[in-house]
Amino acid sequence: MSSEDKEAQEDELLALASIYDEDEFKRADSAQGGETRICLELPQNFKIFVSGSPTECLQNRGFEYTICFLPPLVLNFELPPDYPSVSPPVFTLSSKWLSPTQLIALCKHLDNLWEENRGCVVLFAWMQFLKEETLAYLNITSPYELKLCHQENRQSRTSLFPLNAELDDCGAAGAATAQEEILDERAVQDVESLSSLIGEILDFDQAQQKKCFNSKMFLCSICFSEKLGSECMYFMECRHIYCKSCLKDYFEIQIRDGQVHCLSCPEPKCSSVATPGQVKELVGEELFARYDRLLLQSSLDLMADVVYCPRPCCQTPVMQEPGCTMGICSSCNYAFCTVCKMTYHGVSPCKVTAEKLMDLRNEYQEADEATKIFLEQRYGKRVIQKALEEGESRKWLEKNSKACPCCGTPIEKLDGCNKMTCTGCRQYFCWLCMGSLSRVNPYRHFNDTSSPCFNRLFQAMNVDGDFWDAENED
């Protein structure tokens, strides 16, 4: 090795190490060479379309994914003693998502770049070409279709051939087929199957997006502090971002109150919900166990074929057979009626339910004297009296209360300000306009000049037996 070549190699490797970070460039320990991992700059909303043989990947056929990053091209190189004066770098180029035909075309173009710059260092020019021009050179556009094919060659029996990027004799997009290509051992396709490739692409894309997110600064809409993305979290559906500290406090309060379905985005009128993984990341093990238990119970409550053992000390979920009203608890062996939750009574009618009481009240009030006597004999005077009382109670509630805008629970306002809290779902709402309020800052509704209830927090408040109206106060 001449002193000029040795100095040129050292200068080039030092320059690459200063330009690229450790994830992109790594110098070899035992040889004069290294490895570069080159991530391509994809257009916005870049899509990959998956197709394959039925036996290989039936479930992935016809699936389309929008991604921001593809796994990197890996360029491994070793510098000969007479580089750059005489010989080019010895290299291999590998990829998970490019076909052997495409990789061979890139290798040939790297050779051409060396010929154009013979006698000069060329690694930086290679890396810039691969990073900035690969997509255009191979005519890769969105949607980029991946299709699994099979061929016999010395590298692999399974090869990936994108349908929209075949190559001609010059290495540009064209019509050359896989059977006609000359194998180049420098081109390495690092893929086992289409299904595994899709998983690797999506995992890499998610990891890179998280890396980019963690390195940026964001303004938390709760504490109004700017923090690094690594200290923040966003909701998957709406992408609203808050710092982890604020969300942690918010989640813990809701879980302690048993409101596991209220772990939604704090942004007003946003319905995005935190994933269990996000909840687990922020709260402690004990609270997450409570969240997990309550979430399972609420999910079971929504299943039509699942009922609970009515014994207070048991409450075991019981599967209900279609068309059968008998449930048998697998824990305590209690046999009960799935309709009225009492001891199973066979074909005998259930005791009157709340809905039946309302129907019975209406029927009794509209009946003639003979029918009233018949209903009293059939259901009993106590049941009839209860039905009438339930009706009067409902009338009173309709006249003296308002329904929670979130769950419909009747709420009566006796005194206090107009910021209300539902006793059923714990939702904050305004008594004046019945609009839902922010869980984080419910009083903002009354301080916002554009709000219809601006400065009306204490309007019509009962003060010492008198009603005080803020609008009429001098």
Which among 324, 288, 282 has a CA at the least distance from the CA of 307?
A: 324
Cα dihedral sign, 78-201-241-439: negative
Q: How many CA within 13 A on the CB side of residue 302?
A: 6
Residue where the block lists tokens 């009233």: 372
Note whether 9 and 79 are within 8 A (CB): yes
Q: How far apart are CA 433 and CA 40, in angstroms?
A: 53
Q: How far apart are CA 426 and CA 449, in angstroms?
A: 26
Q: Residues 6 or more apart from 65 whose CB is under 8 A from it? A: 47, 48, 50, 198, 201, 202
pLDDT at 128: 94
Q: One digit per residue, pLDDT tens: the chain, 474 residues?
A: 688 889 999 999 999 999 998 889 999 887 789 999 999 888 888 998 876 544 444 444 457 888 999 999 999 999 999 999 999 999 999 998 898 899 999 999 999 999 999 989 999 999 999 999 999 999 999 888 876 544 433 333 344 444 443 333 333 333 344 444 467 889 998 877 777 888 888 899 988 888 899 999 999 989 999 999 999 998 988 989 999 999 999 999 888 888 877 788 988 888 888 888 889 999 988 888 988 888 877 776 666 577 889 888 888 888 877 767 788 998 899 998 876 678 888 877 666 666 667 777 788 888 888 888 866 765 567 767 777 777 777 778 777 888 898 888 888 887 788 889 998 888 999 988 999 998 888 899 989 999 999 998 887 665 555 545 544 443
354-366 and 369-379 are packed helices; what angle lies between their axes, rounded to 10 degrees? Answer: 150
Residue whose token pair is 């409101």: 259
Residue 84, pLDDT score:
92
Give yes or no for a contact between 436 and 266, defined as CB atoms under 8 angstroms apart: no
Cα distance between residue 99 and residue 184, in whole Å = 12
CA distance 103 to 167: 10
- DSSP reduced 3-state for 387: helix
**DSSP letter at 87?**
P
Query: Residue 244 class from Cβ within 10 Å (0-12 exposed, 13-18 middle, 19+ buried)?
Result: middle
Joined tokens for residue 227:
């923090």
Q: Residue 178: what pLDDT?
A: 43
Residue 169 pLDDT: 34
Q: How many residues does the chain have?
A: 474
- How far separated are the first and last CA of the chain, in Å rounded? 96
Q: Do 32 and 79 touch, CB atoms closer than 8 A?
A: yes
Give pLDDT, residue 227: 92
The single-letter DSSP state of residue 264 is: B
Phi and psi of 317, rounded to 5°? -65, 135
Q: CB 359: neighbour CB atoms within 10 A?
A: 12
How high is the pLDDT of residue 389?
Answer: 79
d(CA 196, CA 194): 5
| Dist. CA 402–CA 419, nearest whole Å | 13
What is the token pair recorded at 257? Answer: 């109150």
Say if residues 221 and 84 touch (Cβ distance below 8 Å). Answer: no
Residue 120 DSSP symbol: S
Q: What is the identity of the amino acid at 430?
A: C
Would residue 309 show up in a list of annotated catalytic residues for this protein?
A: no
DSSP letter for each residue of 2-21: -HHHHHHHHHHHHHHHHHS-
Inter-CA distances, 304 with 100, 212, 307, 338, 344, Å = 54, 44, 8, 11, 19
Using DSSP's 3-state secondary structure scheme, residue 101 falls into: helix
Burial of 334 from C-beta contacts in 10 A (0-12 / 13-18 / 19+): middle
- The pTM (predicted TM-score) of the whole model is 0.52
Active-site residue, selected from the candidate residues 417, 422, 425, 453: 417
How far apart are the C-alpha atoms of 281 and 276, rounded to whole Å? 9
Can you give the pLDDT at residue 197?
83
Domains, the chain, ordered by start: 3-204 (3.10.110.10), 217-302 (3.30.40.10), 326-402 (no CATH), 410-474 (no CATH)
Q: How far apart are CA 191 and CA 160, in angstroms?
A: 8
Alpha helices in 162-275 (DSSP H): 194-215, 244-256
Does 276 sit behind a cis peptide bond, omega within 30 degrees of 0 on the bond before it?
A: no
Residue 165's nearest CA partner among 115, 113, 95 is 95
